[in-house]
A and B are shown apart, each in its own frame.
Chain A
Amino acid sequence: MVVGFALEGYLLMKDKLSSIWRFFFGDSARAFGSASIILLLLLAIAPAKNHFSQWRHYQKRYLHFIRGRADAVTLERHFQGGIQQIWIPEQQITDRCTTCHLGLKEASLADVSSVAFRKHPVIPHSLTEFGCTTCHRGQGAATTLQEAHSASEQWEQPLLPAKYIEAGCGQCHLENQTGTPFLNQGRQLISAYGCTHCHTIKQPDGTYILPDDDPPSLKHIADKTTREWVYAWIKDPQAYATTATMPNYHFNDDDARDISAFVLAQSAPLEPPIQPVKADANAAADPAAGTTLYGQSFCASCHATQNAAGMMVGGNVGPELTGIGTKAKPEWLQDWVANPNHYDPGTMMPHYRFDAKQVTTLAGFLESKTEPDFVANVHLDPATPAQIEHGKRLVVENGCASCHQINGIKKPENFAPELSRIGSKPLNQLIFVEGVEHTLPDYIGAKVRNPRAFGPSLKMPQFKFTPQQIDAVTTALLALTDRAQTQPPNMRIASVQQTKYEPAGAAGQLMRDLRCLTCHRIDGHGGDMAPDLTWEGTAVQREWLTQFLKNPETLRPALIRRMPKFNLPDSEINTLTDYMMTVYQTPEFDRDSLPVSQLTPAQVEQGRQLFYSKFACQSCHIADYKTDKGYIGPALAGTGKRFNAAWVYHWLKDPQALRPGTIEPNQHMTDDEARSLTAFLMSLKSTGSKEAM
């Protein structure tokens, strides 16, 4: 029966179909008409797809959205329908983002809730000149949300998450910028943790990111410390000092034993050798004298120690000293304090002129700062030749000589992959592991966070970064793109490189011995911890400079870091002052061009008024210790004894011209005002803060 029904249905259907066929194609006229209609319908597919496209949907929504607003007329006038495109051929930018993001330039749309229609936040660049994908990545030519924003097999660069957006700036801006704190921090960390000892990073301007962590040479390590300490240190550097930048290699006990054996075995005695401890029981037994000398010498300007409350106190130029007594041998400490150049001619530490008693006092004080727990459980048997040989192999395999100088081992070349274009690395060249999202930022972040997660045999060690530091390093690495390398050179803002300036002659020798450039900058070379001395000879009076070098007074009450007392003999002070007064002069004006004798008492009085009322300098400076409390700029109570009047006058007229970056505001003074203020300041001849105390 079923078959019967089916047959009947089939015959019925066949009848129907043939009648439909006859209706449309029965004769030539009908066939022509029908074919034309089908052709028309087929032709309509493309326009229909276009009509219902996603970007039109956004444009319709935008028009609907602005119609309800008070400024509809203005916004409608700005609106341009159709596909919009920013095309910058020389940078290979074809960005159609503005097809949907229609309000990017509309100031009145700054606070609308829809991201698509909101104004772009204020940035220093025009969207038309730089495009969108330069910074945000994504696929510029795409006109659907999915294709433009996300990654696909054909497009590996999805939109960059906002936390890495400063990577966009870093492609052109190789200098530090106010608006990019994380990029700056990331680059600084890459230098400070010495990433570029192993990884080469060539910046687009041809310069290299150089390491500035200054890892110690191990050539004479046996003179400095014990094998037990080396063993415990390579097992976990941060257990000794939380601020240590040396990464953790997760060596097992045997490997650490063999490496420590080799490191000690390769060490050669210093030439000339370190003298045995000078016994001066009196000095060593006086911890109070040691504390005082440590304070007076301002060791804490560069070195940190952990106090009882666990807080780190002091600077980060030199290594942390919390457990130095556990690390360094007593005779080495004495030798180092007496003259660091003996052990390490390249150190940043100045050569203080300590007498024998001071050396034993300070070395004894440092010797007392111990962390006995650090080496308490380390018991090593004497090393066997096999262990030393194995240790050497490990040292070579792990590239220890990339950072440290080691006798008999050369610094390896290209030890780790070059990172100059890591920000554009194709994903198919990377090996992802479980739990890491398939994007470049996630890969880099995971690699910095925990390198060994990518395979236990990988050599990259474990650095101790906070999550925020990892994001910063990732940002700096993401800035190293193909685009950065290949774009026109006029797009680049070069990085500020240190000059190679070195002071000359006998004074130059002396300044190198005292490591002035560790803290001070001169002619673009040196640190930024202390004032720039490029024009110090124009600024100050010779007598003051002499006195200051003899006994540095506190110039800035609020600063912890201060100029140390080097205990210089008069002859050395004379050499230094002669040189500085002669050489470090600005070509802009003569330091004697405004003799104090030309300044009248009336001007002094007028200057006093200006100081305290119009310019209210007492906000930040102290002219009189009895009344003023300003704490930000240097105390000015001794200006008349310290500075030259011409310098004061030119400083008041335009501080940034004399010292770029100084936070003293330019007050736009008239010549008369600057002259009167100079007269007042030069009349201040207090000898220092002690008077007020």
Chain B
Amino acid sequence: MKNTLIALCAFMLLTAGCSHKNKQPAPLQATATGAAIVESSGGKQIGYIGMPLDQTVVVQVNDASGSGVAGAAVYFRGPSGVSFAPAAALTDSSGQVTTTVALGQQAGRYKLTASTRDGSGKKAEVRIDEIALGYQQTVGAQLNGQYCVRCHDPESTPQRVSNMDNLAVKPHPFTEGDILNKISDADLVAIISHGGAALNKSPLMPPWGYTLSKSDIAALVAYIRAVADPPHEAGGLVYAQK
């Protein structure tokens, strides 16, 4: 008995200096549960390494009939380096939770999950994919904004009117992975450098090889690969939780 007591004291003394940082968010007191969780907005954004995404990520917890449930607990999780503010929250009156996401330190695709538990304690999950651009892809993104976007992006804003509708042959938006992924890096470089006509494609695409440097064009290809949807297989790492 005495020995046990001494052993206990010794153990407590030994471990007194250690403290465990609890990384798990404190469990939330959910007042309701839903049947499913869906993404409302904020998926498929193109951000930069380590930086918060421009738009917040919004998910919604629905009941069996598909309408929002207030007071359900939602937990966000992602691969290491990704941070959420907040990482866990209760849904608001419309059944939604909004969080600000900062991506990790490496360029690539990030697979995030938002989860909730239904009435029986079973986990319901939704996956949200985001893209982080590194240095080379950032150069590509900047060049894209300067030279390519007005024809290759169908979206018009008051500051930047899209030229796509004015073109007889429509250019491919860079996110159009199912088409662009089939073109090899070398062919992409050739089309950008020498124009569409060089590969028997539309001459509406001008040659940029005498205006942009080789590293500029490599950066553009890196950007095109990074934003492809569906993803390009060599488009960098996919970060998901183990």
Indicate whether A and B interact. yes
Candidates B51, B139, B205, B222; contact of A163 at CB < 8 Å: B51
Is A429's beta carbon under 8 Å from chain B? no
Query: Can you name 14 A-B residue pairings with CB atoms under 8 Å?
Result: A121-B134, A121-B136, A162-B50, A162-B106, A178-B216, A179-B139, A467-B52, A468-B54, A471-B52, A613-B203, A616-B202, A630-B166, A667-B206, A667-B210
Distance from A555 Cβ to chain B, minimum over Cβ atoms (Å) = 15
Q: Report the nearest A residue to B203, measured CB to CB.
A: A616
Cβ–Cβ < 8 Å partners of B54 in chain A? 468
Q: Report the nearest A residue to B54, measured CB to CB.
A: A468
- Residue among B49, B165, B207, B210 having the largest count of chain A Cβ atoms under 10 Å: B210
Q: Whole-angstrom distance between the alpha carbons of A663 and B146 in the complex? A: 8
Cβ–Cβ < 8 Å partners of B209 in chain A? 668
Query: What 1/0 flags go to A636-678 for Cβ under 8 Å of B?
Result: 0000000000000000000010000001011110000000000
Interface residues of B in 31-87 (CB under 8 A from A): 48-52, 54
Is B29's beta carbon under 8 Å from chain A? no
Q: In the complex the two chains form, is B208's CB within 8 Å of A665's CB?
A: yes
Interface residues of A in 105-129 (CB under 8 A from B): 111, 113, 115, 118, 121-124
Q: Report the nearest B residue to A169, measured CB to CB.
A: B135
Known: A613-B203, A629-B166. 5 other contacts (CB 8 A): A124-B215, A165-B49, A558-B163, A630-B163, A656-B211
Query: What 1/0 flags go to A610-622 for Cβ under 8 Å of B?
Result: 0001111001100
Q: Whole-angstrom distance between the alpha carbons of A165 and B54 in the complex? A: 19
Q: Whole-angstrom distance between the alpha carbons of A355 and B50 in the complex? A: 56
Contact surface of B with A, Cβ cutoff 8 Å: 48-52, 54, 100, 102, 104-107, 134-136, 138-139, 142-143, 146-147, 150-151, 158-159, 161, 163, 165-167, 197, 202-211, 215-216, 218-219, 222, 234, 236-237
Candidates B51, B135, B159; contact of A179 at CB < 8 Å: B135
Cβ–Cβ < 8 Å partners of A632 in chain B? 150-151, 163
Q: Whole-angstrom distance between the alpha carbons of A117 and B177 in the complex? A: 29
Q: Whole-angstrom distance between the alpha carbons of A162 and B49 in the complex? A: 6
Q: Whole-angstrom distance between the alpha carbons of A665 and B207 in the complex? A: 7
- Residue among B146, B151, B166, B234 having the largest count of chain A Cβ atoms under 10 Å: B166
Cβ–Cβ < 8 Å partners of B105 in chain A? 161-162
Cβ–Cβ < 8 Å partners of B146 in chain A? 663
Q: Whole-angstrom distance between the alpha carbons of A113 and B211 in the complex? A: 36
Q: In the complex the two chains form, is B234's CB within 8 Å of A111's CB?
A: yes
Distance from A664 Cβ to chain B, minimum over Cβ atoms (Å) = 8
Candidates B51, B210, B211; contact of A471 at CB < 8 Å: B51
Q: Whole-angstrom distance between the alpha carbons of A123 and B138 in the complex? A: 11
Q: In the complex the two chains form, is A181's CB within 8 Å of B142's CB?
A: yes
Distance from B219 Cβ to chain A, minimum over Cβ atoms (Å) = 8
Q: In the complex the two chains form, is B237's CB within 8 Å of A631's CB?
A: no
Given contact pairs A122-B218, A558-B161, A665 touches B210 in the complex (Cβ within 8 A): yes
Q: Whole-angstrom distance between the alpha carbons of A471 and B222 in the complex? A: 25
Is A560's beta carbon under 8 Å from chain B? yes
Q: Report the nearest A residue to B145, measured CB to CB.
A: A181
Cβ–Cβ < 8 Å partners of A313 in chain B? 158
Q: Whole-angstrom distance between the alpha carbons of A156 and B152 in the complex? A: 47
Q: Report the nearest B residue to A161, measured CB to CB.
A: B50
Cβ–Cβ < 8 Å partners of A656 in chain B? 211
Cβ–Cβ < 8 Å partners of B147 in chain A? 663
Q: In the complex the two chains form, is B139's CB within 8 Å of A111's CB?
A: no
Cβ–Cβ < 8 Å partners of B208 in chain A? 665
Q: In the complex the two chains form, is A123's CB within 8 Å of B135's CB?
A: yes
Q: Whole-angstrom distance between the alpha carbons of A162 and B51 in the complex? A: 8
Q: Whole-angstrom distance between the alpha carbons of A313 and B159 in the complex? A: 10
- Residue among B54, B105, B146 having the largest count of chain A Cβ atoms under 10 Å: B105
Q: In the complex the two chains form, is A163's CB within 8 Å of B49's CB?
A: yes
Q: In the complex the two chains form, is A631's CB within 8 Å of B161's CB?
A: yes
Distance from B218 Cβ to chain A, minimum over Cβ atoms (Å) = 7
Q: Report the nearest A residue to B235, measured CB to CB.
A: A111
Q: Whole-angstrom distance between the alpha carbons of A178 and B202 in the complex? A: 28
Q: In the complex the two chains form, is A615's CB within 8 Å of B203's CB?
A: yes
Q: In the complex the two chains form, is B142's CB within 8 Å of A665's CB?
A: no
Cβ–Cβ < 8 Å partners of A163 in chain B? 48-51, 102
Candidates B166, B211, B222; contact of A666 at CB < 8 Å: B211
Q: In the complex the two chains form, is A616's CB within 8 Å of B237's CB?
A: no
Cβ–Cβ < 8 Å partners of A468 in chain B? 51-52, 54
Q: In the complex the two chains form, is A616's CB within 8 Å of B159's CB?
A: no
Cβ–Cβ < 8 Å partners of B206 in chain A? 615-616, 619, 665, 667
Q: Whole-angstrom distance between the alpha carbons of A629 and B107 in the complex? A: 39
Q: Whole-angstrom distance between the alpha carbons of A264 and B237 in the complex? A: 62
Q: Whole-angstrom distance between the alpha carbons of A98 and B102 in the complex? A: 28
Distance from B154 Cβ to chain A, minimum over Cβ atoms (Å) = 13
Cβ–Cβ < 8 Å partners of A665 in chain B? 206-208, 210-211
Q: Whole-angstrom distance between the alpha carbons of A467 and B158 in the complex? A: 25
Q: Whole-angstrom distance between the alpha carbons of A598 and B81 in the complex? A: 67
Given contact pairs A162-B50, A631-B161, A632-B163, A121 touches B211 in the complex (Cβ within 8 A): no
Cβ–Cβ < 8 Å partners of B159 in chain A? 560
Q: Whole-angstrom distance between the alpha carbons of A113 and B237 in the complex? A: 7
Q: Whole-angstrom distance between the alpha carbons of A560 and B135 in the complex? A: 32
Cβ–Cβ < 8 Å partners of B167 in chain A? 619
Distance from A627 Cβ to chain B, minimum over Cβ atoms (Å) = 11
Distance from A110 Cβ to chain B, minimum over Cβ atoms (Å) = 8
Distance from B122 Cβ to chain A, minimum over Cβ atoms (Å) = 30
Distance from A470 Cβ to chain B, minimum over Cβ atoms (Å) = 10
Cβ–Cβ < 8 Å partners of A631 in chain B? 150, 161, 163, 166
Cβ–Cβ < 8 Å partners of B215 in chain A? 124
Q: In the complex the two chains form, is A619's CB within 8 Å of B151's CB?
A: yes
Cβ–Cβ < 8 Å partners of A667 in chain B? 206-207, 210
Q: Whole-angstrom distance between the alpha carbons of A631 and B161 in the complex? A: 8
Distance from A628 Cβ to chain B, minimum over Cβ atoms (Å) = 8
Q: In the complex the two chains form, is B218's CB within 8 Å of A668's CB?
A: no
Q: Whole-angstrom distance between the alpha carbons of A236 and B100 in the complex? A: 27
Q: Whole-angstrom distance between the alpha carbons of A3 and B150 in the complex? A: 97
Q: In the complex the two chains form, is A115's CB within 8 Å of B234's CB?
A: no
Cβ–Cβ < 8 Å partners of B48 in chain A? 163, 182
Q: Report the nearest B residue to A629, measured CB to CB.
A: B166
Candidates B49, B106, B204, B211; contact of A616 at CB < 8 Å: B204
Cβ–Cβ < 8 Å partners of A616 in chain B? 202-204, 206
Q: Whole-angstrom distance between the alpha carbons of A586 and B213 in the complex? A: 26
Distance from A346 Cβ to chain B, minimum over Cβ atoms (Å) = 29
Q: Report the nearest B residue to A666, measured CB to CB.
A: B210
Interface residues of A in 468-492 (CB under 8 A from B): 468, 471
Q: Whole-angstrom distance between the alpha carbons of A123 and B205 in the complex? A: 28
Q: In the complex the two chains form, is A668's CB within 8 Å of B203's CB?
A: no
Given contact pairs A122-B136, A616-B202, A668 touches B150 in the complex (Cβ within 8 A): no
Q: Whole-angstrom distance between the alpha carbons of A178 and B197 in the complex? A: 28
Q: Whole-angstrom distance between the alpha carbons of A609 and B208 in the complex? A: 21
Q: Whole-angstrom distance between the alpha carbons of A124 and B158 in the complex? A: 35
Cβ–Cβ < 8 Å partners of B210 in chain A? 665-668
Q: In the complex the two chains form, is B107's CB within 8 Å of A620's CB?
A: no
Q: Whole-angstrom distance between the alpha carbons of A630 and B134 in the complex? A: 33
Distance from B21 Cβ to chain A, minimum over Cβ atoms (Å) = 14
Q: Report the nearest A residue to B237, measured CB to CB.
A: A111
Cβ–Cβ < 8 Å partners of B150 in chain A? 558, 631-632
Candidates B100, B151, B203; contact of A614 at CB < 8 Å: B203
Cβ–Cβ < 8 Å partners of A613 in chain B? 203
Given contact pairs A163-B48, A616-B202, A122 touches B151 in the complex (Cβ within 8 A): no
